[in-house]
Amino acid sequence: MNGVLSLVLCLVALLGGGLVGFFVRKAYAEKKVQSAEERAKLILEDAEKKAQDKKKEIELESKELLHSIRADFEKETKDRRAELFSMEKRLIQREENLDKKVELLDRKEKELNEKLKDISAKEQKLRSMEEEYKLLVAEEKDALQRVSGLTVEEAKKLLLARMEEDVKQEAGVMIKRIEDETKQEADKRAREILATAIQRCAVEHTVESTVSVVNLPSDEMKGRIIGREGRNIRALEMATGVDVIIDDTPEAVILSGFDPVKREIARIALTKLMEDGRIHPGRIEEIVEKVKKEMEVSIKEAGEQAVFEVGIRSIHPELVKLIGKLKYRTSYGQNVLDHLKESAFLMGTMANELGLDANLAKRIGLLHDIGKAVSHEVEGAHPKLGAEMAKKYGENEFVINAIEGHHGEIPPISIYTVLSSAADAVSGARPGARRETLEIYIKRLEKLEEIADSFKGVEKAYAIQAGREIRVIVEPAKITDAQATVLAREIKKKIEEGMEYPGQIKITVIRETRAIEYAK
């Protein structure tokens, strides 16, 4: 009985403990669920808050982007309006310039008509003078036959001698008068055009020689350049085509060659070899080939830069390369590429002053010495070679004629050829543009004086102003004032035929008569 009761109590106790545990666990679970719900609620609220903040941030960024796009659009619109205004202004300016050029052409046409009328009047006057001479000759012939008793042949010789003397006298006076009348205006206008062109042109010039000197870090480097049994120096000469001269000059090597491009390649290659330190035939060939490729790029860039500076378009790429080559070519010490650019600017300015096509003039100026880029490779004078190059690459007939005729080898077919000769002479004759050796300079002075002394009646001739002027003193008993004018023209003609010189030479004939008496 007691055992059963104990068992029942135990069951009751277990059941009561289970019920208590169930309710405790249920309460704990409900509390945990409530806590989880509260956390979930907090997380949701935090997520909503972050979403609102992100939304506000995106809206702010959108507004800023819209403002930036609007500002860029307004700026671009403003710039385009300014550009259109500038273009409109330039068009108006061009129209005004065209009107001025038309007025200038009309004025020049009137001046030309007036000069033609003046020439016609002078021709008529010369015809009348010729008739008078014929009458005088007939009268003098009759008088001579009656009074002197000379034969017809003797009278003819005497008459021709007198006529020759009179005609020379009259011709000298007439030449001087016509030259004074025409030169006064022509020289003034020419000086204005040339002065304007020279003032507007500002091209720097560099002076280079036919040899290049490479400085060495020490004299020990000479032995490395020569190499064992001279194999390095032979490899360098064969790869570059220039002579490498190593002498007693301290810390220097001389590169000699007629082709300036090859000489420059050799200079750069040797400099790089010394910097690299590895000097042997294989490395020399590798460096030279690399420098050649770099030089091709440099030549092309130099040509393109020159074309851009001058402001012309549509030049064949091969002509651009030839222009770039002239960066390394000199003439009388003047860099040829700089000479071409200066000539182009001069021709463009003169063409503008004369109402011609400035772009065509600058094109001719930039190409007129293009033949010098190949004159050391192909036999022939550089004007003819340049004309062949221009024709080969599609230049027009005015350009070809100006290139071939800028030294007077062929007759000009347009005024651009004359302008080319003038610009070439001005650029070459500018003080400091060119240089020459003392020997050539002295020979040129002696040749000038020799030509002047060869004429009858010349007492003494002096070449002055560095050979740009020669003063000729004549014997007043043998040369009259009128004959002095004729003598100056004859000396000029002989100098032009027998000498080559940059620029121009002024011939001044001086005739002086002195009367001396002594009071005793």
In this structure, which topology does domain 210-296 adopt according to CATH? Ribosomal Protein S8; Chain: A, domain 1 (3.30.1370)
In the chain, domain spans: 42-145, 164-198, 210-296, 302-427, 437-509
The pLDDT, as a whole number, for residue 171 is 67
Class of domain 437-509: alpha beta
Percent of the chain with pLDDT over 70: 82
The pLDDT, as a whole number, for residue 172 is 64
**pLDDT tier, 210 (very low <50, low <70, confident <90, very high otherwise):** low
CA distance 7 to 412: 145
For 331, other C-beta atoms within 10 Å of its C-beta total 16
When pLDDT is averaged across residues 311-322 and rounded to a whole number, the result is 86
pLDDT at residue 438 is higher than 60:
no
In this structure, which topology does domain 302-427 adopt according to CATH? Hypothetical protein af1432 (1.10.3210)
Lowest mean pLDDT among 192-196, 204-208, 354-358: 204-208
The pLDDT, as a whole number, for residue 513 is 75
**Residue 211 main-chain phi, psi, to 5 deg:** -125, 155
Give the three-state DSSP class for 58.
helix
CA distance 25 to 189: 121
Tell me if the pTM is above 0.85: no
Per DSSP, the chain holds a count of helices (H) and strands (E) of 14, 8
Element (H, E) at 460: strand 458-464
When pLDDT is averaged across residues 43-60 and rounded to a whole number, the result is 85
The pLDDT, as a whole number, for residue 472 is 92
Task: Give the E-state strand segments of 237-359 in sequence order.
Answer: 243-245, 252-256, 330-331, 334-335
CA distance 404 to 380: 12
CA distance 340 to 382: 14
Query: Among 382, 247, 248, which Cα is nearest to 256's?
Result: 247
Lowest mean pLDDT among 302-306, 332-336, 362-366, 433-437: 433-437
The pLDDT, as a whole number, for residue 208 is 43
* DSSP string across 103-168: HHHHHHHHHHHHHHHHHHHHHHHHHHHHHHHHHHHHHHHHHHHHHT---HHHHHHHHHHHHHHHHH
Report helix angle 397-405 to 415-429, nearest 10: 40
pLDDT at residue 273 is higher than 80:
yes
Strands 211-215 vs 330-331: parallel, antiparallel or unpaired: unpaired
The pLDDT, as a whole number, for residue 202 is 42
Q: For residue 398, give the amino acid letter.
A: F
CA distance 124 to 114: 15
Residue 474 bridge partners (DSSP):
458, 511
Residue 244 bridge partners (DSSP):
255
Lowest mean pLDDT among 95-104, 315-324, 461-470: 461-470
Question: 381 with 363: CB under 8 angstroms?
Answer: no
Highest mean pLDDT among 9-23, 373-387, 399-413, 417-431: 399-413
Instruction: Round the average pLDDT of the chain to a whole number and report it.
Output: 80
Query: Among 346, 405, 381, 33, which Cα is nearest to 200's?
Result: 346
When pLDDT is averaged across residues 49-74 and rounded to a whole number, the result is 86
The pLDDT, as a whole number, for residue 344 is 87
The pLDDT, as a whole number, for residue 191 is 53
184-193: per-residue pLDDT in tens?
A: 665 555 555 5
The pLDDT, as a whole number, for residue 203 is 42
**pLDDT tier, 200 (very low <50, low <70, confident <90, very high otherwise):** very low
Element (H, E) at 359: helix 358-367
Percent of the chain with pLDDT over 90: 3
User: Going by C-beta distance under 8 Å and a sequence separation of 6 or more, which residues neighbour residue 77?
Assistant: none
**pLDDT tier, 128 (very low <50, low <70, confident <90, very high otherwise):** confident
